[in-house]
């Protein structure tokens, strides 16, 4: 077993654990990292590793949100259990568009859209979208303040209660969240859940980001940042388990088997992704309680420009 390859797998696990949940494109970062840190494995194993390493990240969601996702919790009331079942139903339904469209196009996307320039273009486009959408939400909320418009704000999220006093010192991003139609993940209706699922289809293009696509969709459909981020985590469970299972099946149907050390490489990547994801998810949920997504938008734009310049100089 090559210790260096295990170190590389751990580095990929760190990148996966951070970028899977932040709206900056995990696949895009993994493909770009591979330009500088290439593992000594077969192409088939690499393509499988790129997807299956996400299992470690998704287990972090199951751990952090175990109670929220568990409909059998003895500490929940009958109403709360029904809420949980309904949330699972909305999650599964929201995943149908990605399954129907994504499975048939999976191989084509992998073959034709893996270019660094495609990744860069998606990074920049979605970065601009985050900034424009957040600015529009903040402008709308600010115009609703007393003396500037209707004077009406929607009920504030639990972590921030808008009053006559706090509204004067609240940041624009906090006011935008207070003005959102959907404050809590359980307030999501079926129509909004399906709408977010349709936005998830856009994440098939490398560089767009699955979480970025669904978060943008949720913001446009009237969700608060915390509500759409939490629903995005839940959507990842069936999507990533399904994608990982499909990639493993393809790997073995091609007659492949794990070579010496490859099992350890995959396990190291998954374990590191799990641990880092625990930190990344908690960071994101804490960050967006008082901040908007614009910093991620600017990061995407800068990274996209750097990628274009770098690969243009190599050409």
Query: For residues 173 and 287, is the Cβ–Cβ distance under 8 A?
Result: no
The per-residue pLDDT for 203 is 85
Helix orientation angle between 262-287 and 43-52, rounded to the nearest 10 degrees? 30
Residues in the chain where the model's pLDDT stays below 50: 148-151, 153, 155-169
Q: What is the DSSP letter of 236?
A: H
Conformational region of residue 29, where left means phi above 0, alpha means psi within -120 to 50, and beta covers everything else: alpha
Count CA atoms closer than 13 A to 157's CA, side-chain side.
24
- State the pLDDT at residue 198: 93
pLDDT tens, 49-97?
A: 988 999 999 999 999 999 999 999 999 999 999 999 999 999 999 999 8
In b/e form, how buried is each residue of 114-140, taking b as 16+ CB within 10 angstroms? eebebbbbbbbebbebbbebbeebbee
Distance of CA 18 to the CA centre of its chain: 10
| The pLDDT of residue 174 | 81
Helix (H, G, I), strand (E, B) or coil at 216: helix
Using the Cα atoms of residue 230, residue 231, residue 232 and residue 233 in order, give the sign of their dihedral: positive
Query: Running DSSP on this structure, what letter comes out for residue 182?
Result: B
Coil, helix or strand for 161?
A: coil
SS3 (DSSP) at 251? helix
How confident is the model at residue 268, as a pLDDT? 95
Helices 225-253 & 54-64 angle (0-180, nearest 10): 140
**Token code pair at residue 306:** 């750097």
């Amino acid at each position: 077993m090559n210790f260096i390859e295990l170190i590389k797998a751990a580095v990929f696990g760190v990148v996966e654990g951070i970028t899977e949940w932040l709206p900056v494109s995990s696949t895009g970062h993994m493909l770009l990292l591979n330009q500088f840190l290439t593992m000594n494995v077969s192409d088939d194993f690499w393509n499988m590793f790129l997807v299956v390493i996400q299992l470690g990240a998704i287990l972090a969601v199951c751990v952090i949100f175990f109670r929220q996702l568990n409909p059998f919790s003895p500490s929940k009331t009958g109403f709360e259990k029904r809420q949980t079942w309904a949330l699972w139903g909305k999650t599964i339904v929201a995943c149908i568009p990605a399954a129907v469209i994504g499975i048939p196009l999976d191989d084509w996307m992998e073959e034709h859209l893996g270019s660094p320039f495609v990744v860069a273009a998606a990074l920049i486009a979605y970065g601009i979208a985050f900034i424009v959408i957040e600015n529009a939400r903040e402008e709308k909320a600010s115009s609703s303040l007393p003396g500037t418009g209707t004077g009406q704000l929607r009920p504030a999220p639990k972590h921030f209660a808008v009053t006559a006093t706090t509204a004067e010192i609240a940041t624009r991003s906090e006011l935008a969240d207070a003005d959102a139609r959907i404050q809590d993940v359980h307030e999501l209706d079926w129509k909004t859940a399906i709408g977010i699922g349709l936005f998830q289809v856009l994440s098939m293009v490398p560089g767009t980001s699955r979480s970025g696509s669904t978060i943008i969709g949720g913001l446009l459909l009237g969700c608060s940042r915390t509500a759409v981020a939490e629903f995005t985590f839940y959507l990842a469970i069936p999507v990533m388990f399904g994608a990982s299972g499909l990639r493993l099946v393809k790997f073995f149907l091609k007659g492949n088997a794990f070579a010496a050390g490859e099992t350890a490489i995959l396990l190291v990547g998954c374990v590191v992704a799990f641990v880092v994801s625990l930190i990344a998810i908690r960071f994101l949920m804490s960050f967006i309680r008082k901040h908007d997504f614009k910093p991620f938008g600017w990061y995407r734009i800068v990274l996209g420009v750097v990628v274009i310049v770098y690969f243009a100089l190599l050409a």
